């Protein structure tokens, strides 16, 4: 690469501080102009490592992330540009590290507000090391058809409209990034486009000056004319005046120093940039424009005349046959992101999954159409949440209270049952909460909590077929099947299960229909004649009450069948028992070794 060139189509950069949008825009530009290599080789994010996934055209690629410049440089020895998105607080340290890294020759500092003393120090070090800084407070720059820094030139549409997808014949340098983007469009209409454009940044002490880039443009045979925008404040435009007088600038230079309106103000004016402040007469826009014109530069009478003067000079160069003919290259079509197209109403996509219980597309997520804030702040209990998310309807309080009673009754049944036991063992082994909970839940099945769904299935089939209780018991015996929901290891007709009594009492008092519960109790009357412990247990009672619950609260036949098919009944046990299992896990993690063994049992108690 020639000394006067900063970038070419093989230039690769490090991005300091992860900036997903800027990174993607750089890669979209690379794809547009058909670069073989992405212009970004790595990202430097202090304290991080791994990969950042991006698009290169329609393909996804991974850009490595390193924690410091040294590590990135070792892995990518040909990368020689650093684009520094660090904040003003850390831009100095990271830029200094880059200056002290041999392979880095160009640094673009995007941050605004870098202390002036630090900026001057960086500029001095860069000059000693024969390196170049663009910025601070810059949007960067662009080598048309080759390389662009960050967000320079805006969208792909603007880049194409401004002819930045291929090199033109103009070298452009400005202090202002915003004005640079405007001028790229102006130059596309008045010339054959930009060869290279640089924004040096609006601070008082940028790392490189206008004259540094103008002299590079002068040395570059592919650049036929030079355009520049200065601004009020400072004296660096006088370096351009001196270069013109000394014959160092021979190519046509069209320049305008902005801020001529400052003369109408009675006192000193500070414009947008830190360096754009009116002061003495020498630093005024009028004085600098006058000196530049006298030194031989093309200076318009006003900014409004700037485009006409540029076009006039360009036409003269064309007439002298100094402007080469440009063959427009074939461009790749840069795909647009789905989110952008969807927002614009230009694309539709079939869903992979359908969700009918919740919605997070609006300003606030909803439970079956009810905003979460309303659920949280209103008169909604956990039963109401279940009714919305499980049954997709707002059930009356009598119904939702039943759901809550079920959860309370099944939350825990002591430390010996398989779910609690497994969770306790996992907790004592030092496993994390999620692993302990999973260990317990995975034991739920026909012998532990999973009998609710089977109980509902068999009893419903029997009653729907108008099968007498005695015949139902006989048929299950012939099939060699235990009746789900019947039988208890400890409880019996002489020692009833209080949980069953509670559920029965509530159902008889609040449900319009109790046919399934009555049918199951009739079956239990028969089974307890054989053994006193073959009672309707809590699983069976929940199942029967739930069938009556759906009858009583106007579930259709299809809705009832959907609930059974989806195993929602077992879901009640899973949800409730998860509370108990987590309680045992918390208990074990709190207790640690503060336990003793009950003399009559193998279970540990406090």
| 606 part of a folded domain | no
pLDDT for position 605: 46
| 315 part of a folded domain | yes
pLDDT-based confidence at 385, cuts 50/70/90? very high
Strand partners, 254: 227, 298
Residue 486 shares a structural domain with residue 459 = yes
Residue 387 shares a structural domain with residue 406 = no
| 329 part of a folded domain | no
Closest residue by Cα to residue 177 from 216, 132, 141, 213 = 141
Over its C-alpha atoms, the chain yields an Rg (Å, rounded) of: 39
Total number of domains in the chain: 3
**pTM surpassing 0.75?**
no
Average pLDDT over residues 2-27: 96
Structure confidence by residue, pLDDT tens digits, 130-178: 999 999 999 999 999 999 999 999 999 999 999 999 999 999 999 988 8
| 1 part of a folded domain | no
Residue 88 shares a structural domain with residue 207 = yes
Cβ-based burial of 419 (10 A; exposed 0-12, middle 13-18, buried ≥19): buried
pLDDT for position 280: 61
| 302 part of a folded domain | yes
- What is the number of alpha carbons within 13 Å of residue 52 lying toward its C-beta? 24
Instruction: Kindly state the tokens that stand for 251.
Output: 């190519």
* Final residue belonging to a domain, choices 274, 292, 319: 319
Residue 375 shares a structural domain with residue 266 = no
pLDDT for position 596: 47
Residue 385 shares a structural domain with residue 409 = no
Closest residue by Cα to residue 93 from 72, 68, 71 = 68
Per-residue pLDDT at 204 exceeds 80: yes
Average pLDDT over residues 304-321: 97
pLDDT for position 590: 79
Give the H or E element holding residue 54. Answer: strand 50-56
The domain of 93 spans 13-319
Pairing of strands 141-143, 194-199: antiparallel
Residue 266 shares a structural domain with residue 359 = no
Residue 204 shares a structural domain with residue 352 = no
Per-residue pLDDT at 524 exceeds 60: yes
* Final residue belonging to a domain, choices 347, 369, 391: 391
Residue 235 shares a structural domain with residue 305 = yes
Closest residue by Cα to residue 143 from 135, 133, 153 = 153
pLDDT for position 606: 45
**Are 504 and 541 within 8 A, CB to CB?**
yes
Per-residue pLDDT at 276 exceeds 70: no
Query: Which residues, at least 6 apart from 474, have a Cβ–Cβ distance to it below 8 Å?
Result: none
Residue 354 shares a structural domain with residue 306 = no
Is 273 an active-site residue? yes
| 328 part of a folded domain | no
Cα–Cα distance, 14 to 428 (Å, whole number): 49
Structure confidence by residue, pLDDT tens digits, 244-274: 999 999 999 999 998 765 454 444 554 444 4
Query: Which residues, at least 6 apart from 89, have a Cβ–Cβ distance to it below 8 Å?
Result: none
Query: Which domain CATH number covers 218?
Result: 3.40.50.261
Residue 342 shares a structural domain with residue 406 = no
Residue 385 shares a structural domain with residue 401 = no
Choosing from 52, 165, 213, 273, the catalytic residue is: 273
| 326 part of a folded domain | no
Q: What percent of the chain has pLDDT over 90?
A: 76
| 95 part of a folded domain | yes
Residue 236 shares a structural domain with residue 384 = no
């Amino acid at each position: 690469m020639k000394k006067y060139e900063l970038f070419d189509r093989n230039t690769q950069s490090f991005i300091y501080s992860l900036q997903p949008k800027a990174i993607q825009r750089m890669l979209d530009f690379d794809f547009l102009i058909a670069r073989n290599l992405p212009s970004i080789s790595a990202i430097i994010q202090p304290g991080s490592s791994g990969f950042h996934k991006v698009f290169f055209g329609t393909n996804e690629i991974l850009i490595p992330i390193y924690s410091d410049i040294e590590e990135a440089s070792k892995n990518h020895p040909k990368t020689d540009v650093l684009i520094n998105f660090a904040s003003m607080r850390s831009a100095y340290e990271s830029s200094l590290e880059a200056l002290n890294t041999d392979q880095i020759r160009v640094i673009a500092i995007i941050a605004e507000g870098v202390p002036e003393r630090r900026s001057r120090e960086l500029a001095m070090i860069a000059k000693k090391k024969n390196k170049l800084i663009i910025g601070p407070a810059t949007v960067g720059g662009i080598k048309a058809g080759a390389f662009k820094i960050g967000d320079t030139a805006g969208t792909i549409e603007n880049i194409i409209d401004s002819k930045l997808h291929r090199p033109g014949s103009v070298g452009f340098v400005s202090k202002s990034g915003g004005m640079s983007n405007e001028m790229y469009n102006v130059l596309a209409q008045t010339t054959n486009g930009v060869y290279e454009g640089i924004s040096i940044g609006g601070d008082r002490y940028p790392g490189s000056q206008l004259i540094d880039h103008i002299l590079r443009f002068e040395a570059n045979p592919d650049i036929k004319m030079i355009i520049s925008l200065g601004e009020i404040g400072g004296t660096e435009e006088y370096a351009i005046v001196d270069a013109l007088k000394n014959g160092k600038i021979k190519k046509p230079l069209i320049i305008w120093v902005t801020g001529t309106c400052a003369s109408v103000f009675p006192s000193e004016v500070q414009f947008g940039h830190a360096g754009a402040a009116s002061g003495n007469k020498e630093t005024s826009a009028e004085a600098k424009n006058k000196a530049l014109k006298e030194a031989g530069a093309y200076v318009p009478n006003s900014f409004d005349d700037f485009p006409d003067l540029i076009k006039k000079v360009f036409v003269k160069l064309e007439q002298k046959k100094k402007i080469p003919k440009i063959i427009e290259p074939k461009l790749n079509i840069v795909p647009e992101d789905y989110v952008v197209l969807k927002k614009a109403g230009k694309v539709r996509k079939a869903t992979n999954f359908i969700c009918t219980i919740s919605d997070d597309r609006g300003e606030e997520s909803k439970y079956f159409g009810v905003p979460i804030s309303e659920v949280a702040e209103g008169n909604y209990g956990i039963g109401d949440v279940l009714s919305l998310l499980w049954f997709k309807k707002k059930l009356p309080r009598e119904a939702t209270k039943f759901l809550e009673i079920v959860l309370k009754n099944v939350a825990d049944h002591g430390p010996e049952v398989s779910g609690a036991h497994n969770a306790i063992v996992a907790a004592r082994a030092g496993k994390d909460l999620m692993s302990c909970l999973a260990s317990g839940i995975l034991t739920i099945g026909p012998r532990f909590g999973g009998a609710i769904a089977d109980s509902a299935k068999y009893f419903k089939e029997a009653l729907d077929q108008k099968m007498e209780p005695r015949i139902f018991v006989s048929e299950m015996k012939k099939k060699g099947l235990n009746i789900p929901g019947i039988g208890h290891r400890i409880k019996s007709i002489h020692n009833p299960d209080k949980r069953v009594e509670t559920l029965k009492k509530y159902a008889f008092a609040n449900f319009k229909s109790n046919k399934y519960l009555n049918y199951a109790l009739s079956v239990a009357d028969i089974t307890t004649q054989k053994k006193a412990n073959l009672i309707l247990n809590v699983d069976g009672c929940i199942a029967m009450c739930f069938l009556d619950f759906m009858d009583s609260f106007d579930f259709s036949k299809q809705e009832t069948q959907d609930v059974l098919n989806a195993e929602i009944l077992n879901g009640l046990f899973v949800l409730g028992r998860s509370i108990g299992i987590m309680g045992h896990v918390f208990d074990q993690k709190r207790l640690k070794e503060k336990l003793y063994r009950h003399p009559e049992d193998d279970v540990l108690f406090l």
